[in-house]
């Protein structure tokens, strides 16, 4: 099945998290948010160089692209934000990180994933 991966080698996927409020879009919070479905590997250069992230692009390792939600609910203790997540590209097992920004190749419809910060 597409998006599935064996247990020994995680799938590497570039994702975009859209409309993340700037005050909660720290690298720590982004790492915490993606842990519900994968492990943060790196941020793209535009995201790293932006001090006030709105849309963030990150590379994650996960067991399956099918587990990446379409939306994240982020609770900050005071406010609830619902942000969109889209898959930009899925890297093959042998592919190394590309120098150019990832292009949109796939969008997945998934349930909403909830996160409390």
Q: Are strands 112-116 and 71-75 parallel, antiparallel or unpaired?
A: parallel
Contact yes or no for 69/37 (Cβ under 8 A): yes
- For residue range 33-81, list pLDDT tens digits in order: 899 899 999 988 888 777 666 889 999 999 989 999 999 888 888 888 8
Tokens 């997945």, residue? Answer: 108
Of the candidates 52, 46, 42, 51, the one whose C-alpha atom is nearest the C-alpha of residue 20 is: 52
* Domains of the chain from N-terminus onward: 11-116 (3.30.70)
pLDDT at 94 over 80: no
Contact yes or no for 64/3 (Cβ under 8 A): yes
Q: Quick one: average pLDDT of 99-107?
A: 39
pLDDT at 108 over 80: no
C-alpha torsion angle, residues 48, 51, 87, 104 (rounded to 10): -80
Q: Are strands 80-91 and 11-18 parallel, antiparallel or unpaired?
A: antiparallel
* pTM for this model (two decimals): 0.71
pLDDT value at residue 51:
65
- Cα–Cα distance, 12 to 40 (Å, whole number): 10
């Amino acid at each position: 099945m597409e998006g599935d991966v064996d247990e020994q080698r995680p799938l590497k996927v570039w994702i975009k998290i859209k409309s993340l409020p700037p005050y909660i879009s720290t690298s720590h919070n982004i790492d915490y948010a993606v842990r519900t479905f994968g492990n943060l590997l790196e941020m793209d250069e535009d995201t790293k160089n932006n001090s006030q992230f709105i849309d963030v692009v990150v590379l994650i390792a996960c067991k399956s692209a099918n587990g990446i939600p379409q939306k994240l609910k982020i609770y900050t203790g005071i406010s609830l934000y619902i942000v969109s997540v889209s898959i930009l590209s899925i890297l093959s097992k042998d592919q190394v990180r590309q120098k150019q920004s990832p292009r949109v190749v796939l969008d997945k419809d998934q349930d909403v994933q909830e996160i409390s910060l």
